[in-house]
């Protein structure tokens, strides 16, 4: 059995008192939620092969159909993931100045509430701090208000990466019928607590009239994640929407204590399209939650940056069923290969997209608007790869 998360004590001498997080109310409105399957990760350790196979089968269907799953019983309790204090709260309390955002295209550091660049843009009401590997190597890159809690942040990220994500990749390797550590050994980046990925503590402040008018209710444009898995803690404020196979946006329902996991493009490529990197976006919550702050805690797990991803042709699943080129990165990378062109490395692919991040209504010279079956989409091109995103 996998060990449960055992965080450092929150009441060690010298640690500031952190007020208990008050859970906002869930929406009372009748919502047509996305229907996601639940994976109870502890069942992977079951001595009964039938139980494990059942879990693999459920996971296969979930990542093929939805690309999103609810992960439960993964070793972090509901109270534990709420105990990690967000810098937004601490900074407000202590008045510690924020760090400036990084300019490297890796998204490290502080994002203030006015756009995605160092130069002040229009307000968007989204504030976050991203901890990349350099933040874990130098406390100078960490907001001072978070220094007393660093042991907790470190333990939390290490557990998510080296326990939860490793077990999750084991399950996904089993779906591909490959050895258990295949994805962990060959694809996942593993240097330090977050590898080449990052840990984010974000706060979405209620949109004021200006933000609402500019974004028309969208806080973050539709996109796919680039890495291996994204681990998002389910929160009571419903703002995440996913793009279903029926081409409709649907909110993801609050599932207390669950991790909302989505498959990144790296795994879509490795799986030959059997895993789906599903488009998702962040929008204003339902009307009865519009005045609430939305705290978002997420760890973006990354693939090894120097790799150029090919389908895992040795997978018995791929040998038996072939690849699936119905959508997304797999299909577009395949087109490049067929033209004899070099496909981007994982690092190139993620950094070019991060560097192009912008607010939904900011001018985006790389975007062309197209309509598919009457639905507005944004067409972009990065490194010779075309991507199409529902707007
Ligand atoms: Fe995302």
The domains found in the chain, sorted by start residue, are 38-324 (2.60.120.330)
Per residue in 287-335, pLDDT (tens digit) is 999 999 998 899 999 999 999 989 999 999 999 999 998 778 888 888 8
Say yes or no to pLDDT of 119 above 70.
no
CA 359/CA 349 separation, integer angstroms: 20
pLDDT at 121: 72
Which helix (H) or strand (E) segment holds residue 260: the answer is strand 259-263
**pTM listed for this prediction:** 0.92
pLDDT at 243: 93
Helix (H, G, I), strand (E, B) or coil at 44: helix
Find the 230 Cα to ligand 1 centroid distance in Å. Answer: 8
Find the 282 Cα to ligand 1 centroid distance in Å. Answer: 9
Which helix (H) or strand (E) segment holds residue 318: the answer is helix 316-321
pLDDT at 272: 94
Find the 225 Cα to ligand 1 centroid distance in Å. Answer: 5
For residue 261, which of 235, 234, 279, 221 has the smallest C-alpha distance?
234
Say yes or no to pLDDT of 219 above 70.
yes
pLDDT at 210: 79
Find the 340 Cα to ligand 1 centroid distance in Å. Answer: 30
Per-residue pLDDT band for 103 (boundaries 50, 70, 90) equals low
Say yes or no to pLDDT of 358 above 80.
no
pLDDT at 316: 98
First-to-last alpha carbon distance for the chain, in angstroms, is: 44
Please return the burial class of 43, using the count of CB atoms within 10 Å of its CB with bins 0-12, 13-18 and 19+.
middle
Sequence-separated contacts (24+) of 284-287 with Cβ below 8 Å: 284/207, 284/212, 284/217, 284/218, 284/219, 284/239, 285/27, 285/237, 285/238, 285/239, 286/27, 286/29, 286/31, 286/238, 286/251, 287/29
The larger pLDDT score, comparing residue 247 to residue 93, is at 247
Per residue in 51-81, pLDDT (tens digit) is 999 999 999 999 999 999 999 999 998 877 6
Find the 238 Cα to ligand 1 centroid distance in Å. Answer: 15
SS percent in the chain: helix, strand, coil, step 5: 30, 20, 50
Work out whether strand 126-131 and strand 294-300 pair parallel, antiparallel, or are unpaired: unpaired
Q: What's the gap between Cα 1 and its chain centre?
A: 26
Find the 299 Cα to ligand 1 centroid distance in Å. Answer: 11
What average pLDDT does range 124-135 have in this prediction? 87
What average pLDDT does range 150-159 have in this prediction? 92
For residue 132, which of 200, 202, 203 has the smallest C-alpha distance?
200
Per residue in 179-211, pLDDT (tens digit) is 999 999 999 999 999 999 999 988 899 888 877
Per-residue pLDDT band for 82 (boundaries 50, 70, 90) equals low
Per-residue pLDDT band for 350 (boundaries 50, 70, 90) equals confident
Find the 328 Cα to ligand 1 centroid distance in Å. Answer: 15
Residues 6+ away with beta carbon under 8 Å from 388: 370, 372, 377, 378, 379, 380
Q: Work out the number of other CB atoms within 10 angstroms of the CB of residue 65.
A: 15
The larger pLDDT score, comparing residue 13 to residue 265, is at 265
The larger pLDDT score, comparing residue 238 to residue 16, is at 238
Find the 262 Cα to ligand 1 centroid distance in Å. Answer: 8
Kindly report the three-state secondary structure assignment for every residue of 357-369: CCCCCCCCCCCEE
The larger pLDDT score, comparing residue 39 to residue 390, is at 39
Mean pLDDT of the chain: 87
Contact 110, 129 (CB under 8 A): yes
Q: What percent of the chain has pLDDT over 70?
A: 89
CA 149/CA 152 separation, integer angstroms: 5
Q: What percent of the chain has pLDDT over 90?
A: 51
pLDDT at 209: 81
Find the 270 Cα to ligand 1 centroid distance in Å. Answer: 19
CA 55/CA 23 separation, integer angstroms: 31
For residue 34, which of 73, 72, 68, 64 has the smallest C-alpha distance?
68
* Residue length of the chain: 391
Find the 223 Cα to ligand 1 centroid distance in Å. Answer: 6
Sheet of 38-40, strands arranged across: 38-40, 68-72, 259-263, 229-233, 294-300, 198-204, 126-131, 109-111
Say yes or no to pLDDT of 157 above 90.
yes
Contact 330, 272 (CB under 8 A): yes
Contact 265, 224 (CB under 8 A): yes
Say which range, 22-26, 83-87, 268-272, has the weakest mean pLDDT: 83-87
């Amino acid at each position: 059995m996998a060990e449960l998360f055992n965080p450092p004590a929150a009441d060690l001498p010298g640690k500031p008192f952190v007020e208990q997080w008050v859970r906002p109310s869930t929406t009372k409105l009748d919502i047509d939620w996305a229907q996601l399957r639940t994976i109870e990760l502890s069942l992977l350790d079951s001595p009964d092969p039938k139980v494990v196979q059942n879990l693999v089968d459920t996971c296969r269907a979930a990542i093929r159909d939805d690309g999103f799953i609810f992960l439960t019983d993964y070793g972090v309790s509901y109270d534990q993931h709420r105990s990690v204090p967000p810098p937004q709260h601490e900074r407000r309390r202590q008045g510690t100045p924020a760090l400036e955002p990084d300019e490297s295209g890796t998204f490290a550091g502080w994002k203030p509430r006015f756009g995605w660049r160092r130069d002040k843009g229009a307000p968007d009401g989204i504030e976050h701090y991203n901890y990349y590997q350099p933040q874990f190597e130098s406390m100078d890159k960490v907001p001072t208000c978070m220094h007393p809690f660093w042991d907790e942040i470190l333990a939390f990220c290490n557990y998510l990466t080296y326990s939860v994500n490793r077990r999750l990749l084991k399950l996904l390797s089993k779906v591909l019928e490959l050895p258990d550590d295949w994805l962990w050994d060959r694809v996942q980046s593993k240097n330090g607590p977050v590898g080449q990925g990052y840990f984010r503590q974000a706060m979405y402040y209620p949109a004021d009239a200006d933000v609402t008018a500019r974004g028309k209710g969208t806080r973050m444009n539709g996109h796919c994640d680039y890495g291996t898995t994204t681990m998002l803690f389910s929160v009571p404020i419903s703002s995440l929407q996913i793009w279903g196979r029926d081409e409709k946006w649907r909110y993801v329902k609050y599932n207390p204590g669950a991790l909302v996991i989505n498959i990144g493009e790296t795994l879509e490529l490795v799986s030959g399209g059997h895993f789906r990197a599903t488009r998702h976006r962040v929008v204003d919550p339902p009307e009865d939650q519009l005045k609430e702050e939305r705290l978002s805690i997420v760890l973006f797990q990354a693939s090894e940056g120097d790799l150029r991803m090919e389908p895992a042709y040795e997978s018995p699943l791929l040998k038996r069923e072939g690849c699936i080129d119905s959508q997304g990165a797999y299909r577009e990378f395949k087109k490049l290969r067929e033209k004899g062109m070099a496909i981007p490395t994982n690092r190139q692919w993620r950094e070019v997209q991060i560097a192009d991040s912008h607010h939904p209504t900011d001018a985006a010279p790389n975007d062309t608007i197209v309509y598919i079956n009457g639905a507005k989409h944004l067409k972009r091109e990065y490194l010779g790869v075309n991507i199409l995103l529902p707007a």
